Amino acid sequence: MIKPHGSEQLNPLYIRDEQRRAALMSEAERLPSLVLNSAAAANVVMLGGGYFNPLTGFMHLADALSVAETMHTTDGLFWPVPVLNLTSDSTVQVGDRLALRDPNVDGNPIIALMHVAGVDQLSEQHVESMAEQIFGTLDPEHPGVATFTSLGNIALSGPIDVLSFSYFQADFPNTFETAYEIREHIAQRGWETVVAFQTRNPMHLAHEELCRMAMERLNADGCIVHMLLGKLKPGDIPAEVRDASIRKMVELYFPPNSVMVSGYGFDMLYAGPREAVLHAVFRQNMGATHLIVGRDHAGVGDYYGPFDAQTIFDDRVPADALDIAIFKADHTAWSKKLDKVVMMREAPDHEKDDFIVLSGTKVRDMLGQGIAPPVEFSRPEVAQILMDYYQSIDS
């Protein structure tokens, strides 16, 4: 199986030994505590699950600035996005043992225990410099920029012991999985070549066919549809609706045991190219050998070029930085000429009107009115689940 990033073995930070976890939880209850912001809590979940291997905790300022500028930590580890615990709490000191509390669960239960190795004050220039390098813009309308610049100007760094996976296990018991659990499933299935498909949206026919194309062209043993389960921007479809629609598609339209449906607990960054590289890192950590990167991967609005998330792997990622390979995909759509879904770049004799392409706004309007998109765009069973959702919020 493909090695994890940066180490021979995966080192998840979740304390799986029940007795040790109980002892640490007991200790944490007696310690000073900090309620995290959602971004930091999501980082805890990803560190706990092994997705952020080989990191052992939150980065200090020097590492964060280096990662933002060069995509390497100060000691040379390739890493695309800073992993920070930002706060406005000025009472924390170096050497503190700190109970980290979950902002996304009622009562703010303890999610991790942290040894504070560093407390760094961020200047406005630090924050803006990192934001511009991560997101490619300082536009406050960009949802990632708006979040990042509001998290606080004190960075708490140091190792953590993760004691909980927040709400993800309770809310998504059949979908949320850690990187080490996915590795175990891949090994049990005997898969060697494994394609990962990232999604924060429901999957329409073009997405389904893109997974099928990648599997066929790579002679893959299987595909993992890996959906984001954390916080999104307003207007995005809730995770439980996406989960139901994707599972229905896989159940009806893929051969048994060829596709795994799974999810991870992270908040969307909307960082376009940088987030695509982060996706590659943690897909390697979960055991995938290939990641599909398509048009506008992890983007939002018009902040990124349609294929920036592909070219970054050629322009900014050193050849030896990652073991996972990128399957570069074009926009896929139904060809009226060929009577099937194709990648647009592979149909040079087609004009715009030869494809069935619907905007997201048009599709949402149709679903909200109880009108199923054409079968060349969406499977009817998937469309029904989405129609039920949109009509429930409009009623």
Q: Provide the CATH number for the domain around residue 66.
A: 3.10.400.10
The pair of structure tokens assigned to 390 is 């949109």
Domain termination residue (choose one: 169, 186, 207): 169
Residue 122 located in a structural domain: yes
Shared domain for 156 and 29, answered yes or no, is yes
Residue 201: pLDDT over 80: yes
In whole angstroms, give the CA distance from residue 231 to residue 112: 20
Q: What is the tens place of the pLDDT at every residue in 251-288?
A: 999 999 999 999 999 999 999 999 999 999 999 999 99
Closest CA to 122 of 103, 159, 150: 150
- Would you state the structure tokens that stand for residue 33, as one six-digit string? 């505590």
pLDDT tens digits, 287-343:
999 999 999 999 999 999 999 999 999 999 999 999 999 999 999 999 999 999 999
Q: What is the pLDDT of residues 121-164, one digit of tens each?
A: 999 999 999 999 999 999 999 999 999 999 999 999 999 999 99
Residues 164 and 92 in one domain: yes
Catalytic option among 189, 200, 212, 247: 200
Same domain as 348, residue 299 = yes
Asked if residue 346 belongs to a domain, the reply is: yes
Is 200 annotated in the active site? yes
Q: Is 285 a catalytic residue?
A: no
Min mean pLDDT across 165-169, 198-202, 298-302, 391-395 is at: 391-395
Contact 32/95 with Cβ under 8 angstroms? Answer: no
pLDDT at 395: 61
3-state secondary structure of 160: strand
Domain boundary among 130, 154, 169: 169
214-255 pLDDT tens trace: 999 999 999 999 999 998 777 788 889 999 999 999 999 999
Is the domain of 196 the same as that of 262? yes
Same domain flag for 204 and 120: no
With respect to residue 4, please indicate whether it lies within any of the assigned structural domains.
no
Instruction: State whether 274 and 340 are in the same domain.
Output: yes
String of DSSP letters for 245-310: HHHHHHHHHS-TTSEEEEEE-------THHHHHHHHHHHHHTT-SEEEE-TTTT--TTSS-TTHHH
Q: Give the chain's domain count.
A: 2
Give the domain range for residue 298: 172-394
- Length of the chain in terms of residues written: 395
216 and 332 in a single domain? The answer is yes
Among 169, 187, 206, residue at a domain's last position = 169
Token couple for 351: 């004009």
- Quote the pTM value: 0.96
Which residue among the candidates 11, 108, 153, 201 is catalytic per the annotation? Answer: 201
